[in-house]
Amino acid sequence: MTAALPNPTRRVRIDDVELCVHDAGQGPPLLFVHGFPLSHAMWAGQLGPLAASHRVIAPDLRGFGASDVTPGVVSMDRLADDLAALLDALQVREPVVFVGLSMGGYVGWSFVRRHAARLAALVLCDTRAAADAPEAQAQRRKMARHVLEHGTAALAEAMLPRLVSPATAAARPELVELLRGMIAAAPPAGVAAAQEGMAAREDATALLPSIGVPTLLVVGSEDVISPAAEMAAMAERVPGARLVVVPGAGHMAPLEAPATVNAALAEFLAGLGPAGRR
Ligand code: MLT
């Protein structure tokens, strides 16, 4: 008889909330930080394969998935501090490879500013360094009010066509349904609080030349939210950064093209030393 494996997804108390976290595998730690308004389930294509060689830690951020919600404004700094507290609670003492997608990348900029000593390397998928223009901030605040009054049903319909490429939507309808389920399950107060936090986020463009850890940027060639050209310009500003453009994928490149993204991750991770440093 084989011993039952522990369920890799559990709740962990940090500060004023409990976060739901998927924690599996052994080895150098990889911290996966999801996009808006999703959950750790968006890393479905990465968590299993990478747990063979690494400890994979993938939380639902405050306000999302099965984690607790705090209303009001949840800043990117708050989310980055939550991640540092989560690493403490999980007794992760060595620096981590931070892998963030889109809003997860915005949290990454705060993690670089506030917790640089905990960082071994950075992987930024389908994200932006620029802050929002005033019109985009106003749009986010409007959406925050809308979901608080009417729930998240309309959010899925508005977002889904922009999340994956037309080719992915045609060939992989189950991925669209997975995303629809994550969006529908997102608590309205969590969605609104993160929208307010993203609207208020700092511009990270000036931070890019000071990033002192190995950095990989990944973007779908068809991403209409964080376009490949914008990520190429970001890559030029980060010392030594590598850019991988995933052909045919949209904003959810890791979910849409896991084999390509995992190969890029594996090559990048192999270039880091055994303790996760180059
Ligand atoms: C995301 O995927 O996290 C969002 O597109 C980020 C944003 O709304 O700027």
Contact 108 CB / ligand 1 (< 6 Å) = no
- Which residue has tokens 């008889």? 1
Cβ pair 129, 254 in contact under 8 A: no
Going by C-alpha positions, the residue among 49, 16, 36, 32 that lies closest to residue 87 is 32
Phi then psi for residue 244, to 5 deg, are -120, 120
For the chain, give the percent of residues with pLDDT over 70: 96
| Contacts with 244 (C-beta within 8 Å, 6 or more apart), sequence order | 216, 217, 218, 219, 260, 261, 264
Region 99-123: mean pLDDT is: 98
How far does residue 102's CA lie from ligand 1's centre (Å)?
5
Contact 37 CB / ligand 1 (< 6 Å) = no
Q: What is the pLDDT, as a whole number, of residue 1?
A: 43
91: left (phi over 0), alpha (psi -120 to 50) or beta: left
pLDDT for residue 200 is more than 90? yes
Region 89-102: mean pLDDT is: 98
Q: How far apart are CA 221 and CA 227, in angstroms?
A: 8
Opening angle at CA 69, ends 63 and 75, nearest 5:
55
Q: Is 98 helix (H, G, I), strand (E, B) or coil?
A: strand
| Contacts with 212 (C-beta within 8 Å, 6 or more apart), sequence order | 116, 239
Contact 195 CB / ligand 1 (< 6 Å) = no
Q: What is the pLDDT, as a whole number, of residue 7?
A: 73
Look over the chain and give the mean of its residue pLDDT values, rounded to a whole number: 95
Running DSSP on this structure, what letter comes out for residue 225?
A: S
Residue 195 CA: nearest ligand 1 atom is 8
Cβ pair 235, 183 in contact under 8 A: no
Peptide bond before 258: cis, by omega within 30 degrees of 0?
Answer: no
Q: How far apart are CA 216 and CA 261, in angstroms?
A: 11
**pLDDT, tens digit, 9 for 90 and up, residues 33-92:** 999 999 999 999 999 999 999 999 999 999 999 999 999 999 999 999 999 999 999 999
Residue 2: band (very low, low, confident or very high) from pLDDT cuts 50, 70, 90 = very low
pLDDT for residue 166 is more than 70? yes
Q: What is the pLDDT, as a whole number, of residue 274?
A: 60
Region 190-207: mean pLDDT is: 98
Q: Can you read off the two tokens belonging to residue 85?
A: 């507290």
For the chain, give the percent of residues with pLDDT over 90: 93
Q: Please, is 135 exposed, middle or buried when counting C-beta atoms within 10 Å of its C-beta (0-12, 13-18, 19+)?
A: exposed
**pLDDT, tens digit, 9 for 90 and up, residues 128-153:** 999 999 999 999 999 999 999 999 98
Q: Please, is 15 exposed, middle or buried when counting C-beta atoms within 10 Å of its C-beta (0-12, 13-18, 19+)?
A: middle
Region 7-23: mean pLDDT is: 94
Q: Is 38 helix (H, G, I), strand (E, B) or coil?
A: coil
How far does residue 139's CA lie from ligand 1's centre (Å)?
13
Contact 143 CB / ligand 1 (< 6 Å) = no
Q: How far apart are CA 200 and CA 190, in angstroms?
A: 15
Contact 194 CB / ligand 1 (< 6 Å) = no
List, in sequence order, every residue forming a beta bridge with 99; answer none if it has no partner: 32, 123
